[in-house]
Chain A
Amino acid sequence: MTVIATEGLSKRFPRVTALDRLSLDIAPGVTGLVGANGAGKSTLIKILLGLSPASEGKAAVLGLDVASEGGAIRERVGYMPEHDCLPPDVSATEFVVHMARMSGLPPSAARERTADTLRHVGLYEERYRPIGGYSTGMKQRVKLAQALVHDPQLVLLDEPTNGLDPVGRDEMLGLIRRVHTDFGISVLVTSHLLGELERTCDHVVVIDGGTLLRSSSTDDFTQATASLAVEVTDSDAHPDGTAALRKALEGAGIAVATAEREADGSPTSTRVLFVEVTGDPTYDAVRDAVAGLGLGLVRMEQRRHRIAEVFRTDSATAGPSPGARPQPSPSQPAVGEPAPRSAAPHSPAHQHPAQQDAARQHQEGGSGDVA
């Protein structure tokens, strides 16, 4: 079953082409729609809601044709706009109740659903206060609540993390994830930040200049390149435990790197080793090496590479031209391949550690802009 399907979808305005023969197939789950400003994200959402006719091509949402069944689509779909859209002088409850009724819910159901939905998005006592006094994070929650209040089968979230501080951003992303896992509602979330989508989305679609740049599952982007962060203590026998471990691991044929920065841009200690995971034996090898050296294991945690790194190598090899189509995901090498370094360096799944470091530094500030 597909939630959104477009076929050769184009939208031309007198002076610009917003969408150019876009063909997409989006399955249930959380899907990230990534693109720089002006890539055609908002135009696509408008067409999907049946509010703007496509110049050519077809699109269906939940199996309903956007051209002829817009009303039915809008009854089953929730939409959270990018911009501020809340009147400041009414309370969240009043506002969401009104919006629920606008979606066709009878008065009593509208009130009941509003109370439920506001609780689910994390608004409690403050929901009776006028929205004008809310923080940005709370306003975003109200916006999300009005998109969910009529229990849609799909929500379209346009830049839901805009204007939020890092904590608020994390909370919003967690909430979006829950919309799917706990509420069973499919999500299409747009962003121009790649970094934040990889934690949230099952699938990422990248558009640029109205054309499809790439569409594949987040696992394809990141899981195949999993690495392990390992930090150990020093001991009398090994005054520099990190170096000793590194030597031991490299001796066992395992790729090890250090990074000056965390993937999110915060400085990290050189004591953290990044071990390339090539399969379950890697974990055992690390454990055995640490135990063998008699060191204390401070941490050993799973890390994922950033989607942005994948794109970085893509653009480095395929060139930044918008029409370039990177290799489809099925052709990627299997995860368990023994020698990652020997794999083709331009394959998105495997990177040279030096490239990863460069990518991490490149990502300073935590943003992973496509462009």
Chain B
Amino acid sequence: MSPKTQAGDAPGARQAPRGAAPAADVIHNIGYRHYDGPRLGRAYARRSLFSQSLRGAYGLGRSAKSKVLPMLLVGVMCLPAGIIVAVAVATKTDELPVEYTRYAIILQAVIGLFVAAQAPQSVSRDLRFKTVPLYFSRPIETTDYVVAKFAAMASAIFLLTATPVLILYVGALLGKLDFVDQTKGFAQGMLSVALLSLLFAGIGLVIAALTPRRGFGVAAVIAVLTISYGAVSVMQGIADEQGETGAIEWIGLFSPITLIDGIGSAFLGATSAAPGQFGPDAAVGVVYLLVYAVLVAGAYGLLVRRYRKVGL
């Protein structure tokens, strides 16, 4: 980067050699300087957007006020894990009272709140303040934007859900519980929250990207998550009452959290949270996986379509 003389710049100065040395009589040169450094392109821009969005989900790089809610939710999410560990260590049990795969399901309301608050924060603002065209007038494409936002949201949820699982694991090891058992459970738990993070991020972002109004986004995400879970739970309860236990595993397909729970109980050795623990077996579990894949891919596709439309 070399300073460029300002005096006597004729139109068409761009053709002048960029590195032209300043004239000897120029003492204070605060003129325009050209940038000759590297331009790192699409992949770098995508990474930058990812890290900015991930930080933004926890209020980092934003006002102090926007840090309150995410940090509070992290606290609420981790506190029970800490208590469980403390109790387990103190009472010297040979098993944690809560399965690794079950923890996130129990605290699903907290995760739901986090998604509802942060997904609209991540995408509605760009829509509302019409910042989106500024992104698309730069090297990144629609898919880069969607991938970065999707990955950032999923990572943010993963951090929220994986931290307490990690606390449980560390606590279990400190309590000298069986290492092999705990490590297996921990791995299953991590996989389960990873699946949950991706699904919740997709659902949250699609709903949030529909509206530039953040408030609507928050309400809609909460509504979708709680109503679907409520409806599924009620249906499963009725099925259980009437002895139609075969239906329970199929009903579970219709809400995100029971979907994750079903995949967990089918493949990850989790105890199903469904009434009577009638979770899907491996055969029905394949259907669960299919639905899961369709939902995540569908969310991605819808987001790309949405941003094709709003771009510029």
Contact = CB atoms under 8 A, between A and B. Distances in A.
Nearest to A151: B35
Contact of B32 (A1, A28, A183): A183
Contact of A116 (B11, B33, B136): B33
B137 A49 contact: yes
Interface stretch (B68-76, B123-131, B180-188, B229-237): B123-131
B35 A153 contact: no
Contacts, number: 129
A90 B129 CA distance: 12
Given A183-B32, A186-B14, A103 B138 contact: yes
Nearest to B134: A85
B14 A81 contact: no
Interface in B1-22: 4, 6, 9-16
B134 A99 contact: yes
A75 B15 CA distance: 19
Contact of B62 (A90, A102, A120, A146): A90
B39 A88 contact: no
B129 A184 contact: no
B298 interface: no
B147 to A, nearest CB: 14
A84 interface: yes
A28 B12 CA distance: 6
Contacts of A78: 137
Nearest to A101: B48
B176 interface: no
Contacts of B62: 89-90
B11 A102 contact: no
A85 B35 contact: no
A182 B6 contact: yes
A159 to B, nearest CB: 14
A86 B14 contact: no
A81 B312 CA distance: 8
A169 B82 CA distance: 60
Contacts of A89: 62-63, 66
A330 B25 CA distance: 41
B61 interface: yes
A26 to B, nearest CB: 13
A184 B131 contact: no
A79 to B, nearest CB: 4
Contacts of B10: 181
B11 A106 contact: no
B125 A28 contact: no
A109 interface: yes
A36 interface: no
A88 B33 CA distance: 29
A109 B37 contact: yes
Contact of A49 (B35, B37, B312): B312
B40 interface: yes
B196 to A, nearest CB: 29
Nearest to B49: A102
Nearest to B126: A87
A164 B66 CA distance: 32
Interface residues of A, number: 49
A184 B16 contact: yes
B35 A102 contact: no
Nearest to B129: A87
Nearest to A3: B14
Contacts of A1: 15
B34 A184 contact: yes
Nearest to B141: A71
Contacts of A146: 134
Nearest to A148: B32
Nearest to B140: A102
Nearest to B308: A51
Interface string B104-130: 000000000000000000000110011
B26 to A, nearest CB: 13
Contact of A106 (B30, B38, B49, B141): B38
A186 B11 CA distance: 9
B138 A105 contact: no
Given A51-B312, A86-B129, A86-B131, A104 B9 contact: no
Contacts of A101: 44-45, 48, 52
Given A46-B312, A79-B137, A101-B45, A94 B4 contact: no
Which of B15, B38, B45, B134 has the largest count of A CB atoms less than 10 A from its CB?
A: B134
B132 to A, nearest CB: 8
B311 interface: yes
Given A74-B137, A84-B130, A104 B52 contact: no
A19 to B, nearest CB: 16
B17 to A, nearest CB: 11
A185 B9 CA distance: 12
Contacts of A71: 41-42, 139, 141
Contacts of B48: 98, 101-102
Given A71-B139, A88-B129, A98-B52, A184 B14 contact: yes
Contacts of A103: 39, 45, 138-139
Contacts of B135: 102
A20 interface: no
Contacts of A119: 30
Contact of A109 (B11, B14, B35, B134): B35
Contacts of B136: 51
List 5 tightest A-B contacts by C-beta distance, closest first: A79-B137, A151-B35, A184-B13, A104-B39, A184-B14
Given A102-B138, A146-B134, A153-B14, 9 more contacts: A71-B141, A77-B137, A85-B129, A89-B63, A101-B45, A101-B48, A104-B42, A184-B9, A184-B14
6 contacts: A46-B312, A51-B312, A81-B130, A81-B137, A102-B45, A102-B135
Interface of A: 1, 28-30, 46, 49, 51-52, 71, 74-75, 77-79, 81, 83-90, 94, 98-99, 101-106, 109, 113, 116, 119-120, 146, 150-151, 153, 180-186, 202
